């Protein structure tokens, strides 16, 4: 099998994972929606290249964190269908990582969007 073919198969599996998350994870759909709103707001506020870079990174990393959180939940569910304290800790900790990241994302978005929005309302 060629390297290109292996890469193509890997990308196909990755895209399948995104579709799975979209189909099964409400929080992933919320993140997609908020990301699209941020892009729309950014387009209307004429962001600088650096601001677009920050917003793009925050969006991509947030979606990545949510996918990791989802994969941890799937693996824990695969390993046990019983309520186990360690399974709960694994899921809660993964969700906490996403929560911490989301809070940081709100701060970054605030630094970028709030001054621009204030200028719109002041002028």
Annotated ligand binding at 51? The verdict is no
Whats the size of the chain, residue-wise? 123
Say if residues 72 and 90 touch (Cβ distance below 8 Å).
yes
Which residue in 59, 62, 65, 66 is the catalytic one?
A: 66
Annotated ligand binding at 88? The verdict is no
Annotated ligand binding at 73? The verdict is yes
Distances (CA, A) of 86 to 73, 75, 93: 12, 13, 10
**Is 51 a known active-site residue?**
no
Tell me if residue 36 falls in helix, strand or coil: helix
Annotated ligand binding at 66? The verdict is yes
Annotated binding site for a divalent metal cation: 73
Residues contributing to the annotated binding site: 66, 73, 91-92
Binding residues for ATP are 73, 91-92
The catalytic site residues sit at 66
């Amino acid at each position: 099998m060629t390297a290109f073919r292996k890469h193509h198969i890997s990308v196909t599996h990755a895209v399948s994972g995104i579709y799975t998350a979209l189909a099964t994870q409400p929080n992933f759909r919320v993140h997609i929606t908020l990301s699209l709103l941020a892009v729309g707001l950014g387009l209307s506020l004429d962001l600088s290249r650096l601001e677009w870079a920050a917003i793009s990174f925050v969006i991509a990393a947030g979606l990545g964190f949510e996918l990791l959180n989802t994969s941890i939940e799937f693996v824990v569910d695969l390993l046990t269908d019983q309520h186990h304290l360690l399974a709960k800790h694994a899921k809660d900790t993964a969700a906490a990582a996403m929560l911490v990241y989301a809070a940081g994302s709100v701060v970054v978005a605030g630094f970028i969007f709030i001054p621009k929005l204030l200028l719109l309302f002041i002028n």
